[in-house]
């Protein structure tokens, strides 16, 4: 048997099929759908946000079947961008009205006294009394009241100003907060304040930081044995405000699951990168604890996502419901609401889901001539996305590098090739390759078995020859 004659055709067949599968140039007609792109500037790179219709038509859960073609129907390289980070905005400071708090010489700290505010003829007056309502003689400066009632943001620090003193200043203060002037909570128990000058240099510490919190009033005080602090002004600093990336919202009506009481399934129409979920209940005055599950395709088991308590209550002539719930970003198309049976169910009607998501962006190289095209919808197409740092030299994550990349505008999605290409059962090329590879394994196993038989058959004759050659 000529083994080479058997192996050679097999190797050639496998190589031809593999090469044809791997190196066949992809064309727009190989994909079910396409979105045209228009560009305004003359730039090397462009970016585009993927719309909901893309997720609905993509044939892969990871959207790896995306391609970008130029006007010559040639593939151009592209990269995916991660979800944009939330930006933080530094809010300006605000001046706070200050009111000195004076006590008699024999009084201790301010904690044993009552505070009240009155307004008359456009002026504000702060009154200090004992717990039984007796006025306190204003003989010694014991602290200050800062009025923050007009602020709407959480305060994270206060900046104090005072008149310079000969010899400098080194003192410590207590900072407290209250919303009613009766109950006070300590924010900083022993905050240092410094104002020292030496050899033409000044060391100044006039800022007191604390955990950001909304409050109406702040109180500054110090021990009775300590020299009073002569403040001239105070300003409030606010914590950075997080500016959320704008979300798009997709709604889906729940459908009762057959043979499953208190379970409702939602189909978002595509594997959207959802990170916000809101459940709208069908009936007023409902409170429903439930579990939320999700999956990518109907064949997969349900995966727990989170637990929640949804409600829809009548209040003050209107309705109140919980804010959208944050969930870990994931590309699930199908969602399941499993209601706790102890809550009595949802009542009449079906629930509705509102899913919030941030459109993902791609960046592509404008190689060749336009117009450019995003193609998608081919279950056999493996991902060809490059890392963004590979595609764009010197790229670093952040808002500024992204803003420097020109924006490509999207047109309406339209069919390109056979829509059946987006369905798993039409994986002809992959099935053919696997069939050839499996056939190769079978043939190699048969060849090994035949070779083993030949070796075993020749063993007796070889043994006899060895016996004949042995010297007597």
The enclosing domain of 324 has a CATH number of 2.60.120.260
Nearest CA among 355, 428, 452, 322 for reference residue 1: 452
pLDDT computed for residue 281 by the predictor: 94
363 has a pLDDT exceeding 70: yes
pLDDT computed for residue 118 by the predictor: 75
Residue 469 lies in a domain: no
Residue 221 lies in a domain: yes
Select the more confidently predicted residue: 398 or 250.
250
Residue-range definition of the domain harbouring residue 153 = 94-242
Integer-rounded Cα Rg, in Å, for the chain is: 37
**Domain match, 43 and 121 both:** no
Are 102 and 416 in contact by the 8 Å Cβ rule? The answer is no
Q: Across residues 239-267, what is the average pLDDT?
A: 88
**Domain match, 195 and 290 both:** no
Nearest CA among 215, 209, 127 for reference residue 173: 209
**Domain match, 133 and 213 both:** yes
Residue 48 lies in a domain: yes
202 has a pLDDT exceeding 50: yes
258 has a pLDDT exceeding 80: yes
57 has a pLDDT exceeding 70: yes
Q: Which of 242, 265, 299 is the last residue of a domain?
A: 242
Give 38's strand partners. Answer: 409
2 has a pLDDT exceeding 60: no
Q: How many domains does the chain have?
A: 4
Nearest CA among 279, 282, 326, 321 for reference residue 305: 326
Residue 133 lies in a domain: yes
Q: Which residues contact 333 (CB under 8 A, 6 or more apart)?
A: 61, 267, 268, 269, 270, 271, 272, 295, 296, 297
SS3 at position 92: coil
**pLDDT-based confidence at residue 240 (cuts at 50, 70, 90):** confident
pLDDT computed for residue 85 by the predictor: 64
pTM of the model as a whole: 0.60
Q: Which of 308, 340, 357 is the last residue of a domain?
A: 357
205 has a pLDDT exceeding 70: yes
Q: Quote the tokens at residue 51.
A: 């719309």
Model confidence pLDDT, tens digit, residues 169-197: 889 999 999 998 888 899 999 999 999 88
**Domain match, 310 and 223 both:** no
Q: Quote the tokens at residue 101.
A: 């708090």
Residue 264 lies in a domain: yes
Comparing 3-12, 86-95, 411-420, 460-469, which segment has the lowest mean pLDDT? Answer: 3-12
Torsion of CA 341, 344, 346, 347, to 10 degrees: 140
**Of 199-203, 393-397, 450-454, where does the model show the most confidence?**
199-203
Q: Across residues 223-241, what is the average pLDDT?
A: 87
- Element holding 464 (H helix, E strand): helix 428-469
Comparing 322-331, 354-363, 430-439, which segment has the lowest mean pLDDT? Answer: 430-439
Q: Across residues 10-30, what is the average pLDDT?
A: 56
CA distances from 471 to 85, 466, 467 (A): 89, 10, 9
Q: Across residues 306-327, what is the average pLDDT?
A: 89
pLDDT computed for residue 23 by the predictor: 39
DSSP label of 90: P
pLDDT computed for residue 82 by the predictor: 79
Residue 215 lies in a domain: yes
Percent of the chain with pLDDT over 70: 82
**Domain match, 141 and 232 both:** yes
Are 175 and 219 in contact by the 8 Å Cβ rule? The answer is yes
The Cα–Cα gap between 202 and 96 comes to: 26
Comparing 107-111, 204-208, 309-313, 369-373, which segment has the lowest mean pLDDT? Answer: 107-111
Percent of the chain with pLDDT over 90: 45
**Domain match, 270 and 212 both:** no
- What is the pLDDT of the chain when averaged over all its residues? 83
pLDDT computed for residue 21 by the predictor: 45
pLDDT computed for residue 24 by the predictor: 56
pLDDT computed for residue 426 by the predictor: 40
pLDDT computed for residue 169 by the predictor: 86
SS3 at position 217: strand
**Domain match, 157 and 270 both:** no
14 has a pLDDT exceeding 50: no
Are 175 and 218 in contact by the 8 Å Cβ rule? The answer is yes
Whether a cis peptide bond, with omega within 30° of 0, leads into 371 is: yes
Q: Across residues 260-265, what is the average pLDDT?
A: 92
Residue with tokens 């790896």: 64
Q: Which of 224, 242, 260 is the last residue of a domain?
A: 242
Residue 89 lies in a domain: no
Model confidence pLDDT, tens digit, residues 65-94: 999 999 999 999 999 987 766 667 777 789
**Domain match, 199 and 132 both:** yes
**Domain match, 324 and 383 both:** no
pLDDT computed for residue 133 by the predictor: 67
**Domain match, 212 and 197 both:** yes
**Domain match, 202 and 99 both:** yes
Model confidence pLDDT, tens digit, residues 427-465: 445 555 667 678 877 777 777 777 777 766 665 554 555
Q: Across residues 91-119, what is the average pLDDT?
A: 79
Residue 26 lies in a domain: no
Residue with tokens 């390289």: 77
**pLDDT-based confidence at residue 226 (cuts at 50, 70, 90):** confident
**Domain match, 262 and 279 both:** yes
**pLDDT-based confidence at residue 420 (cuts at 50, 70, 90):** low
């Amino acid at each position: 048997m000529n083994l080479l004659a058997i192996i050679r055709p097999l190797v050639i067949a496998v190589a031809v099929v593999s090469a044809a599968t791997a190196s066949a140039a992809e064309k727009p007609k190989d994909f079910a759908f396409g979105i045209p792109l228009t560009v305004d500037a003359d730039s090397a790179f462009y970016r585009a946000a993927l719309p909901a219709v893309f997720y609905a038509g993509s044939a892969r859960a990871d959207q790896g079947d995306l391609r970008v073609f130029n006007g010559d129907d040639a593939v151009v390289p592209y990269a995916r961008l991660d979800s944009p980070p939330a930006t933080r905005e530094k809010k300006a400071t605000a001046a706070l009205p200050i009111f000195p708090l004076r006590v008699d010489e024999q009084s201790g700290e301010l904690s044993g006294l009552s505070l009240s505010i009155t307004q008359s003829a456009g002026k504000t007056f702060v009154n200090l009394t004992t717990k039984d309502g007796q006025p306190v003689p204003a003989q010694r400066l014991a602290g200050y009241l800062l009025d923050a009632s007009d602020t709407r943001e959480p305060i994270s620090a206060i900046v104090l100003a005072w008149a310079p003193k000969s010899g400098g200043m080194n003192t410590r203060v207590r900072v407290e907060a209250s919303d009613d002037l009766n109950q006070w909570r300590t924010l900083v128990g022993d905050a240092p304040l410094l104002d020292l000058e030496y050899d033409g240099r000044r060391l100044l510490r006039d800022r007191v930081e604390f955990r950001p919190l909304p409050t109406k009033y702040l109180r500054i005080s110090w021990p009775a044995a300590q020299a009073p602090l002569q403040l001239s002004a105070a300003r409030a600093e606010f914590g950075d405000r997080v500016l959320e990336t704008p979300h798009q919202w997709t709604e889906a009506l729940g459908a009762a699951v057959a043979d499953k009481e208190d379970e409702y399934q939602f189909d978002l129409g595509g594997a959207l990168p959802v990170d916000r979920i809101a459940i709208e209940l069908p009936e007023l005055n409902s409170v429903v604890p439930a579990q939320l599950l999700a999956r990518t395709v109907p064949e997969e088991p349900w995966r727990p996502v989170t637990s929640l308590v949804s409600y829809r209550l009548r209040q003050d002539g209107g309705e109140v419901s919980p804010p959208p719930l944050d969930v870990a970003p994931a590309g699930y198309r199908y969602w399941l609401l499993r209601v706790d049976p102890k809550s009595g169910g949802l009542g009449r009607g079906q629930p509705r889901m509102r899913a919030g998501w941030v459109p993902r962006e791609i960046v592509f190289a404008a190689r060749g001539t336009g117009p450019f095209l995003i193609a998608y919808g081919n279950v056999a197409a493996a991902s060809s996305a490059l890392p963004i740092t590979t595609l764009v030299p010197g790229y670093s994550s952040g808002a500024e590098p992204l803003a420097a990349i020109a924006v490509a505008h999207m047109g309406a999605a339209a069919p390109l090739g056979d829509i059946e290409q987006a369905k798993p059962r039409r994986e002809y090329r992959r099935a053919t390759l696997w069939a050839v590879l499996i056939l190769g394994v079978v043939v190699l196993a048969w060849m090994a078995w035949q070779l083993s038989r030949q070796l075993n058959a020749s063993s007796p004759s070889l043994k006899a020859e060895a016996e004949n050659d042995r010297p007597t």
